[in-house]
Chains A and B, each alone.
Chain A
Amino acid sequence: MLSYIVRRFLLMAVTLFGMSVLIFVLLRLMPGNVADILFEAGGYIDPAERARIEAELGLDLPIIQQYVNWVGALAQGDLGFSYVTERPAAQEILPRIPITAQLAGWALLFSVVFGVPLGVVSAVRQNTGLDYALRLVSLSGLSLPSFWLALLIMMAFVRWFDFIPIYDGQPETLWDGFLVFALPAAAVGFRSSALIMRLTRSSMLEVLRQDYIRTARAKGAPDRSVNYRHALRNAMLPVVTIIGIEAAFLIGGLIVTETVFNIPGLARFLVESILWRDYPIVQNLVMFIAVVVVLVNFAVDMLYAALDPRIKYSD
C-alpha cells in the first residue's frame, strides 16, 4: 500500500511537470502578448515602449530561461506579479478561491441531493412512467448548456420577481450565501445532478440483478430493506467516484456560469487572464486546477479502497 502511494505521488509529480511545460508552451504560442493587447487597447504601437514593457516583464528572454525563472520561483512559493494589475499574483488568486469553492460546494450539494435519490427511485421503479420521466429530465440536464440555463433562470427571475440576486461582496450569513450562490449553483449543478442520477440508476440496476439480492428477497426481506440496505450501499461505490471527479471538474461549468452571473471567482478570472495574456496568472491558475484534479483523483481512489475491502492496491 505504501509503495503504491509513493508510486502514485511520483506519477502525480510527472503529470504536474508535464502540465507546467504544456501550459507554458501553449501560452507562448498564443498570438500576441500583454504588450500587444495593451497597445491594441490604446490604438497605436510604439516599438520602443513595447520593447521596454517586454524587457521589464522578462518577455524578451530566451523561452527556456523564462520557463526556468517561472518554475524556480513557483517552487519557492513565489507566483510572480500580474501583468495587468501589477499586484502579486497570489493576492489576485487567493481571494477568489473561497468564492469559487463556495459556488462549487453549493453546486455539488445540489447535484448530490437531487441526483442520488432520483437515480435510486428511477432504478427501483424501472420502466414505469416515473422512470421514463426522470430519465428524460436527466437527459435534458445533460443537453442544456449551463450558460443558457443560467440565462433562463435570470430571465425567470426578472419576469416574476423583477430582480436578480447579484453578487456584491462576500455574503455574511449562510442564508445570504445561499441566496447569492443558489441560482448559479443550480445552473451548474443541474448537469452534474443529471450525470450522477444516470450513474446511480445504472449502478443500482446492476446491483439489483445480483444473486444476493434475489436471496434477500427469497428469504422474505421487505422491499424497502432490500433496496435501501442491501442494494444501495453497494451501488454507491461508483457513484462516490463520479461525485469526486465531478467536484474537481465542476470548474469547467463554473467558467461560463461565473461569466453570466458576474461572480468574481477563479473560473471567470482564468478567461479574463487568458484574454489579457496575463501569463503569471494563467500559468499559476492552470497549475492550481491541475493540482486539485490530481489530488481529488488520488483521494477518490483511496476512498474507493477504504469503502470496498475487495480493492487492494499493490505494487
Chain B
Amino acid sequence: MTTGRPLVQAIDHHAELARAGAHVEGWGSSVLFQARRHPLGAIGLVIVAVFVLTAVFAPFLATHDPLATDPAASLAPPGPEHLLGADFMGRDLWSRIIYGARISLVVGVSSAALGCLIGVVVGLVSGFWGGWIDLIVQRINDILQALPLLVLALVMAASLGPSLTNTIIAISIPVIPHVARVVRSSTLSLREMPFVEAARAEGMSEWRIALRHVLPNTVAPVIVLATAQLGSAILTEASLSFLGLGIPEPHPSWGRMLSESAAEYVRTAPWLVIFPGLAISLVIFGTNLLGDAVRDILDPREKS
C-alpha cells in the first residue's frame, strides 16, 4: 500500500496561490495582476489612459489654437505645418482632435455617471420599497425603453437646446432605465437575503438597511454597466453632434468635425474624414476592451 506512485500529486502551493492572486496587495499590484490575466483589457486600459491624458494635457500637445482660423491654410493637406491637415476654415486638425478629446471625455464620463447615479437611486427605491412607487417606475422605464437610444437622445437634445450641459443630460437619460432595471432586480433578490433579515431583526431602519447593506452589493454590476455605458455615451455624443444636435460650435467635437467635412470632402480632403473618425473609433474600442475585462473580473459568471 505504501509503495508506488502517490495517489495525489504534490501540489506546488506557491504556484497555485500565485495563480489565484494571493500575493496581490494594494491597488497597483492588483491592476498589474489583472492586466496579466486580461491582456486585451490591459490594451483597453492603455488606450483609455492615453485618451484621458490627452484630454488633460491638451494645451501642451496641441500645436495651434484649435479655434484659430487661417484662410491661407484652408483645406491644407497634412504636412509639417499642419500635422493632420486643416479644415475649410484653416483650423489645425491635429489641435482640434486633441481638444476634442476633452469634449468626448467630459460628455462620456459625466453622462455615464449621471445616468448611473439616477439609475441606482431609482432602481434601489423601486426594488427595495416596491408597491406603487415600483409600479410607476416600471411604467416610466417601459416608456423610455420604447424608443431606440439615439432617437430618444435626439429628441431630448433637441428639446433642451444645444449646449454642453444639455447634451450630457440628453445622453444620460437613456442610460437610466438600463441601470435602474439591473439595480432593481439585484435589490429584489438582496432584500430576501438572511443578512438583511438579521439587520431588520436588530432594529435597523429601512433606510439604513437600503444604504448600508443593499446598495454596496449592487456596486459590481453597476460598475460593469457604467464602463459599458462610457463607450456608448461617447458614441451617442458623436452621433448627435454629427447630426447637428449635440455640442454647438465653436467647440471641437469629433462628431461635429465629421459633419462639417462629411460627404463633399470624401473626394477633396479625405484627412478631414479619416482622422476624427479614427479618434472616435479608437477611444470607443479602448472602452469596449476595458469594459469586457471589467465585466470578466467583477462578474465571473458572464465570462465571454
Report A's interface with B, CB cutoff 8 A. Answer: 11, 14-16, 18-19, 22-23, 26-27, 29-31, 139-140, 142-145, 147-148, 151-152, 154-155, 158, 198, 201-202, 248-253, 255-256, 259-260, 262, 270-271, 274-275, 282, 286, 289-290, 293-294
Contacts and interface: CB of A to CB of B under 8 A. Distances in A.
A26 B154 CA distance: 11
Interface in B120-167: 139-140, 142-143, 146-151, 154-156, 158-161
Nearest to B289: A139
Contacts of A27: 155, 159
- Give 7 nearest A-B pairs by CB, closest first: A148-B277, A252-B150, A252-B148, A143-B285, A18-B143, A26-B159, A143-B284
B57 to A, nearest CB: 24
A158 B244 CA distance: 25
Question: Interface of chain B, helix or strand or loop or mixed?
Answer: helix
Interface in B232-271: 235, 238-239, 242-245, 255, 258, 262-263, 266-267, 270
Contacts of B148: 248-252, 289, 293
Contact of A255 (B150, B158, B285, B292): B150
B161 A151 contact: no
A148 B147 contact: no
B304 interface: yes
Interface residues of B, number: 45
A31 B162 CA distance: 10
A30 B158 contact: yes
Contacts of A145: 235, 238-239, 242, 255, 277, 280-281, 284
Interface of B: 139-140, 142-143, 146-151, 154-156, 158-161, 231, 235, 238-239, 242-245, 255, 258, 262-263, 266-267, 270, 273-274, 277, 280-282, 284-285, 288-289, 292, 302, 304
Contacts of A151: 258, 262-263, 266, 273, 277
A143 B231 contact: yes
A277 to B, nearest CB: 9
A134 to B, nearest CB: 12
